[in-house]
Chain A
Amino acid sequence: MNLSSPGSYMPSEYLPVIIFMMIAVAFGAVTIFVGKIFRIRRPYKDKLMAYESGIPPVGEPRERFSIKFYITAMLFVIFDVEAVFLYPWAVVYDRIGLYALIEMLLFMLILIVGYVYAWKKEAFVWD
């Protein structure tokens, strides 16, 4: 890896990842496309209705839903960012030592305060 001149680094070890991703997309797309040539296709109105245990669907499915799902998503963002902060810390931990340990304990303490607050506010109740 050449770090001397900025912009000159080519992340070449990621080339297989890109190729793999393209093949993974192509795999799904090609299977569906090839299947299209062989399979039968006889749609009619009742067949194309949304499944609702055999009776005609009543009302719109995309209605208002519980706020709990929204709160879960917000909490996820906070805790996932925390996890992402922990990864580089964990990798260099043995090189930094005590300083890293104390800093991470402080970081976690702040997070645990928020966690306890969310718990007390009943953000983790789903019934």
Chain B
Amino acid sequence: MNIIETMIYPILYPDTIIGVVAVILVKIALVLGVTMLHVAYATYFERKVIGHMQVRMGPMRVGYHGLLQPIADGIKLFFKEDLIPAAADRTVFQLAPIVMLFAAMSSLAVIPFFDGFIIADINVGLLYLLAMSSLGAYGLVMAGWASNSKYSFLGGLRSSSQIISYEIAVGLSLVGVMIMSSSLNPKEIVLAQQQHWYGMYLFPQFLGYFIFMVGAFAETNRTPFDLPEAETELVAGYFVEYSGMRFSLFFVAEYVGMIVMSAIAVTCFWGGWSIPPIFIKVIPPLAAVPGIIWFVLKIYIHVFLFYWVRATLPRYRYDHLMALGWKVLIPLALLNIVVTAIIKFMN
């Protein structure tokens, strides 16, 4: 077999195992490539948004209006020295950022980006997403423990207990969506939402959406719940000792996590790639707009929300944060489940 024949083999025989794997690889490369580009520019977007909210310009020097800033940052981090503290547990220290990035990235596998485009169409997609978001906690604990530094240790302890506390609220807030759609498959959930004239579970599940978003902020360690990395008391929390490329992996994982959380919110509450049928009834040309545009637009509304909240709200105190999770969000989520179940039963 010559080279050309090898290259077009998957196209000629799409049913063979090589063909199937090749198609999957192309899809994954596409999703990862686009996501990484969005992650790079999400950092730029954040600095610009927060800059303008604080009556500053944000990055302006590198390229037109600072457009090349993310690339410059990437190059800088790539060439920075990578230090492993002498007292650290080397293996665990090196593994932690990889675990973190793995957990954040793997979630992308089950997100339906638009009609018919989903890497793995599994029927327990939502459960898989929640499992992956919990796995991120291992990365934090490993980083905090392995660094062998007091700041990291306290940061790791705090963030792991914060994440597991809000994990419950996030998990319970999605049960309302599951009751309404009778499915755990993200694609089915989007299709179920299109059955209603309002086209989004945001309206009947507003309480669930609120709990989910508060939990999402806590799970991704974003302000106002960024206690694990509270600069004023713990410097950078669990990643104090990380530098260079390893630090940037944590950074990338945080932003991928933010995009994943937005994608779950969009899929479960904002109707995914579709828009409410009533919009199409009123303005028919909207039906011609490709689904991916709505999806990306909805994601960016959520990403903007993350930045907006960061620029607006002060940080929570640790005991208030834990009390909010356990004493307010969990009872509210249980209430949401009971009310949703009773209403569904009435109909």
Query: A residues bordering B, Cβ < 8 Å?
Result: 13-17, 19-21, 23-25, 27-29, 31-32, 35-36, 38-43, 45, 47-53, 57, 61-62, 65, 68-69, 72-73, 75-76, 79-80, 83-84, 86-87, 90-95, 97-98, 101, 104-105, 108, 112, 115, 119, 124-127
Complex contact A51–B182 (CB within 8 A): no
- Contact across chains for A51 and B175 when beta carbons are under 8 A apart: no
Report the minimal beta-carbon distance from A118 to chain B, rounded to whole angstroms: 9
Q: Once bound together, how far apart are the Cα atoms of A38 and B338, in whole Å?
A: 57
Q: How far is the CA of A61 from the CA of B87 in the complex (A)?
A: 10
Partner of A28, one of B98, B109, B168: B98
The answer to whether A20 and B168 have CB atoms under 8 Å apart is: no
Determine whether the beta carbon of B149 is less than 8 Å from that of A50: yes
Contacts of B171 in A (CB 8 A): 80, 83-84
Contact B79 A50, beta carbon cutoff 8 Å: no
User: Nearest residue in B to A59 (C-beta to C-beta)?
Assistant: B150
Give CA–CA (A78, B27) in the complex, Å.
38
Listed residue (A28, A36, A62, A125) with the most chain B CB atoms within 10 angstroms of its CB: A28
* CB atoms of B175 and A112 under 8 A apart: no
Q: Which of B65-87 contact A (CB under 8 A)?
A: 78-87
- The answer to whether A16 touches B109, judged by C-beta atoms less than 8 angstroms apart, is yes
Interface residues on B, range: 35 or more
B175, A15: Cβ atoms under 8 Å? no
B165–A50 touching, CB < 8 Å: no
Chain B 273-296 interface mask (CB, 8 Å, partner A; 1/0): 000000000000000000000000
A-B contact count (CB 8 A): 200
Are A14 and B122 closer than 8 Å at their CB atoms?
yes
Contact B168 A23, beta carbon cutoff 8 Å:
no
B92 interfacial contact with A, CB 8 Å: no
User: Is the CB–CB distance between B109 and A20 below 8 Å?
Assistant: yes
Decide: A76 and B109 in contact? CB cutoff 8 A. no
Interface centre among B110, B183, B235, B330 (most CB of A within 10 A): B330
Q: How far is the CA of A119 from the CA of B24 in the complex (A)?
A: 49
Interface of B is mostly: helix
Q: Hey, what's the 0/1 contact readout for B312-347 against A, CB within 8 Å counting as 1?
A: 000000110011001100110010011001101100
Contacts of A97 in B (CB 8 A): 345
Complex Cα spacing A61 to B172, Å: 36
| A53 neighbours in B (Cβ, 8 Å) | 235
Contact A16 B161 (CB under 8 A): no
Chain B positions within 8 Å of A40 at CB level:
79, 81
In whole angstroms, what is the CA distance A113 to B178 when docked? 25
A83 touches B109 (CB 8 A): no
Q: Which residue of A lies closest to B78 (CB)?
A: A35
Name A's interface SS. helix
Interface residues of B in 95-142 (CB under 8 A from A): 97-98, 101-102, 105-106, 108-110, 119-123, 126-128
- Which A residues are CB-close (under 8 A) to B86? 45, 48-49
- Beyond A50-B152, A86-B172, 10 additional contacts (C-beta under 8 Å) are A28-B102, A31-B249, A32-B98, A41-B81, A45-B86, A51-B149, A69-B160, A79-B168, A124-B327, A126-B318
Question: What separation, in Å, do the CA atoms of A118 and B193 have in the docked complex?
Answer: 38
- Closest beta carbon of chain B to A65's beta carbon, Å: 6
In the complex, A19 Cα to B18 Cα: how many Å?
13
CA distance A45 to B122 in the complex (A): 51
Which of A17, A28, A43 contacts B249 (CB under 8 A)? A28
Name the CB-closest residue of B to A95. B182
Taking the nearest CB of chain B, how far is it from the CB of A44, in angstroms?
10
Query: Is there an interface contact between B182 and A28, defined as CB atoms closer than 8 Å?
Result: no
The contact string, 1 if C-beta is below 8 Å from chain A, for chain B 26-53, is 0110001000000000000000000000
CA of A60 to CA of B241 in the docked complex: distance in angstroms? 16
Contact of B327 among A17, A73, A119, A127 (CB under 8 A): A119
- Is B226 positioned at the interface, with any CB of A under 8 Å from its CB? no
A69 to B82, CA, bound (A): 32
Which listed residue, A21, A90, A127, touches B179 by the CB 8 Å rule? Answer: A90
Asked if B24 and A15 make an inter-chain contact with CB atoms under 8 angstroms apart, the answer reads yes
